[in-house]
Amino acid sequence: MLNNGPHKLANAETMWQYLSILILCIYASIMVMQWQRLPLFVDMFYHLKTAKMFAKNGTICLYNFWEYAPYGMPNIYPPLVHTIMALLLNVGVNGIVLVKVISLLSPIMLLCAIYYIVQNTIGPKIAFFTLISIAYSRLFIITSSFTVPATIAVALLLYAALSIHKKKILLSAAILAIIHYTHTGVGVCSVIFIIFLGLFKAVDIKDFLILLISPLLMASPWLCHIYTSLKDITFNNSAILPLTVYIIPFLFAIIGVFVKIDKTIKALFLSLLIALVGYSMFYPFRGITSQFATGIYIFSGIGLTAIFDILDRLFYKLGIIKRYRYLILSSMIFISVLMSVSLVSYDSDIKIKNNDSVMNIITFNIYNKSEDIFSSNIYNKKDIELLSEHIYENTEEDNIIWSNYRYLAGLLSIETGRPAATSMLLEVHPDKKPDVNESTLIFIIKDVDWDKSNLNIKLEENFRTIATEAIDNEVIYIMKNKKGKTF
């Protein structure tokens, strides 16, 4: 095990715990500062739309008629988060407030899970430095709010791993089953995690079989549904974000892999690291930069702790008293966080980004100036309500809407309850490609590039312009079907 230095304080563990709580509070405050911009990513609007569909139908829906209308598509997104959201919507919680709260809480939940598992396996000191290693990344905390079900599922996987460490095999199996109902990608990662635990001989054969088979059996109703829908999965990425690699925590993580700790615990975290980073084959940004990089940051914390201990012993030998040693070391860490550097890949172009730590987020909130990918929110209540008025006046409840910007169509569908001929989720095929010409009302954003030939849309023949709105420097043409086609 890593030691805590030659001259640790009498209440060292308590000190590290209090410092960790302080860091968690700082991270939580960073998310609170984003309240006006939450949700920070368009995925949450898809989840809200699906939850509203569940709420309206009073049940879990295996088929989604609100997207790619009128033909729809299979609903293969695991239902747990949508079901919870639907229940809250049914008791009167406002949809936008709901997605804001969930987007706020999910990264905090993940950070608490990271701290809790490291503290209960290796100790509070390394748990503290694991939280510190996350400070080198501007995007880890923020982007964990982008895909909430994935973040919740990764947190659940950490609790499952801790249960395995504590020999609570049945509890762990139940948590692993819940993951399959939360996020499919993390569900696959959980299976890989158990397989590597077996390969590393971190669990005996009996526990291995229980952990591998029983979660799959408990999740089999949903997994069978996914299996029957495999032909409809496209593996297209709904939102491609630039891959960002944070140099300092990656170097710490490499060191951490070679630090001597308990073999079983190392096998546990190595299995977690391999399983989660493997997700980067499908979503590189999430696997290396966002919530799936959790294993990287755990080993980064281990490596940073080792470096701290080495320097602590060195300063001790130089005769520096403990008060000044900790002052010097904390100053060094703080400066290194400020100097955090990342490599950002835009297609084949790689750029170096300086000062890319969490301090960048705090500066952004203070001065409201940044080029961040989360610098604005596409949802504007006033604008959506203005456009929705045209829908209420010119359509009936079962009429189809469409836009050349699919997220606008999705937001208007959420607001009005009208099905859309578009989809916010590109990972699934429609059973049949919708004919845009059969939409009742369409919204054309003038400056958005779109392929008219691919849609076979006939604007002049089938639609007439009924209004024009100028919203946020964009001109939007509202056009109604001359034939008044309905869903």
pLDDT-based confidence at 474, cuts 50/70/90? Answer: confident
For residues 404-423, give the mean pLDDT: 90
Handedness of CA 434, 437, 443, 446 (dihedral sign): positive
Identify whether the C-beta of residue 431 lies closer than 8 Å to the C-beta of residue 71. Answer: yes
pLDDT of residue 329: 86
- Distance, in Å, from the CA atom of 308 to the CA atom of 255, rounded to the nearest integer, reads 12
The beta-strand segments (E) located in 211-337 are 243-246
In sequence order, which residues have a C-beta less than 8 Å from that of residue 120 and are 6 or more positions away? 162, 165, 166
pLDDT of residue 377: 57
The tokens describing 167, both together, are 């020999």
Residue 361 in this model has a pLDDT that exceeds 80: no
For residues 314-323, give the mean pLDDT: 83
> H or E stretch including 475?
strand 474-481
pLDDT of residue 376: 47
pLDDT of residue 485: 57
- CB hemisphere CA count around 270 (13 angstroms): 21
For residues 391-406, give the mean pLDDT: 90
Residue 3 in this model has a pLDDT that exceeds 60: no
The tokens describing 65, both together, are 């008629």
pLDDT of residue 236: 66
Task: State the pairing for strand pair 474-481/342-346.
Answer: unpaired
The tokens describing 15, both together, are 């000190």
Say if residue 29 is exposed, middle or buried (CB neighbours under 10 Å; 0-12, 13-18, 19+): exposed
List, for residues 99-128, the tens digit of each pLDDT value.
999 999 999 999 999 999 999 999 999 999
pLDDT-based confidence at 240, cuts 50/70/90? Answer: low
| pTM summary value | 0.90
DSSP 409: H
List, for residues 445-466, the tens digit of each pLDDT value.
887 766 554 567 778 888 889 9
Smallest CA-to-CA distance from 155 within 139, 123, 179 is with 179
What is the pLDDT of the chain when averaged over all its residues?
Answer: 87
List, for residues 153-197, the tens digit of each pLDDT value.
999 999 999 999 999 999 999 999 999 999 999 999 999 999 999
Handedness of CA 414, 415, 418, 423 (dihedral sign): negative
pLDDT of residue 317: 85
pLDDT-based confidence at 257, cuts 50/70/90? Answer: very high
Residue type, 187: G
Identify whether the C-beta of residue 107 lies closer than 8 Å to the C-beta of residue 31. Answer: yes
Please tell me which residue, 363 or 114, carries the higher pLDDT value. Answer: 114
For residues 78-82, give the mean pLDDT: 96
- Distance, in Å, from the CA atom of 456 to the CA atom of 459, rounded to the nearest integer, reads 10
